[in-house]
Amino acid sequence: MRIDIITVLPELLKSPFEASILKRAIEKGLVEVNFHNLRDYADNSYNQVDDYQFGGGAGMVLMIEPIDKCISALTKERSYDEIIYMTPDGETLDQKMANGISLSKNIIILCGHYKGVDHRVRETFITREISVGDYVLSGGELAAAILCDATIRLIPGVLNNETSALTDTFQDNLLAPPVYTRPAEYKGMKVPEVLLSGNFPKIEKWREDQAVERTEKLRPDLLK
Ligand code: ADE
């Protein structure tokens, strides 16, 4: 999978890809992530990529021209499954969406900033608009990092057996069961007996029951 991220703040985005699972996925060649600084596509001496909005009002808007130039340079080289715009008014990201996107070969992610992007960008170039939740971030960069993390870990080979995504919360519309590690007793707090029993069918059954129970209690909406 290849991900091209267009941003005015590449430095804000880089660190999540420099540690742990995402770093290893990149090192293993399972995903390639490229950062494109929108300012490199500005055609004026100030590297200006934003401007005041027509009609007046507070806040700057990212201009269409540098975005067009950047997207055109990328799409000239290869075709893309999706050109995604991160925005609070997009479809809310969930596990199903991450599963679907993880099957893509090439995607572009455009990060909004300030008041957003010139609406013609959204009408003309963008194939999908994604939100990471009903709250407003200062820009699309952290949202893009969330989308990339949720997606990259689902690419076959990124997680090993121990960290397999198959047992994740949400993967089957259930919350994950509780997990414990040593010691078996800490200040009188005991790990559930069944987990120490070595009876694996029984442990499996307990985990399934816990997943259903926790989902009914904490997120009944997932069971509808
Ligand atoms: N940009 C600003 N807020 C956002 C959000 N909640 N989701 C995606 N992109 C955003």
Please check the confidence at residue 37 and state whether its pLDDT lies above 90: yes
Signed CA dihedral, 17, 23, 25, 30: sign only: positive
Please check the confidence at residue 204 and state whether its pLDDT lies above 90: yes
pLDDT (tens digit per residue) in 172-199: 889 999 999 999 999 999 999 999 999 9
User: Which of 40-49, 123-132, 138-147, 198-207 is predicted least confidently?
Assistant: 40-49
What is this model's ipTM? 0.98
pTM for the structure as a whole: 0.93
- pLDDT for res 46: 85
Residue 69 — very low, low, confident or very high, per pLDDT cuts 50/70/90? very high
Looking at per-residue pLDDT, the higher value among 154 and 169 belongs to: 154
Q: Is 116 in the pocket of ligand 1 (CB under 6 A)?
A: no
- pLDDT for res 160: 84
pLDDT (tens digit per residue) in 106-121: 999 999 987 899 999 9
- pLDDT for res 171: 75
Please check the confidence at residue 162 and state whether its pLDDT lies above 60: no
- pLDDT for res 114: 77
Q: For residue 16, how many C-alpha atoms fall within 13 Å in the half-sphere facing its CB?
A: 17
- pLDDT for res 78: 98
Distance in Å, CA 134 to ligand 1 centroid = 8
- Domains, the chain, in order of start with CATH, read 2-152 (3.40.1280.10), 169-223 (1.10.1270.20)
Q: Is 26 in the pocket of ligand 1 (CB under 6 A)?
A: no
Please check the confidence at residue 163 and state whether its pLDDT lies above 70: no
What percent of the chain shows pLDDT beyond 90?
90
Determine the residue of 136, 147, 148, 149 to mutate for testing ligand 1's pocket, defined as the one with the most ligand atoms within 8 A of the Cβ atom: 136
Q: Look over the chain and give the mean of its residue pLDDT values, rounded to a whole number.
A: 95
Q: Is 147 in the pocket of ligand 1 (CB under 6 A)?
A: no
Q: Which atom of ligand 1 is nearest to the CA of 112?
A: 1
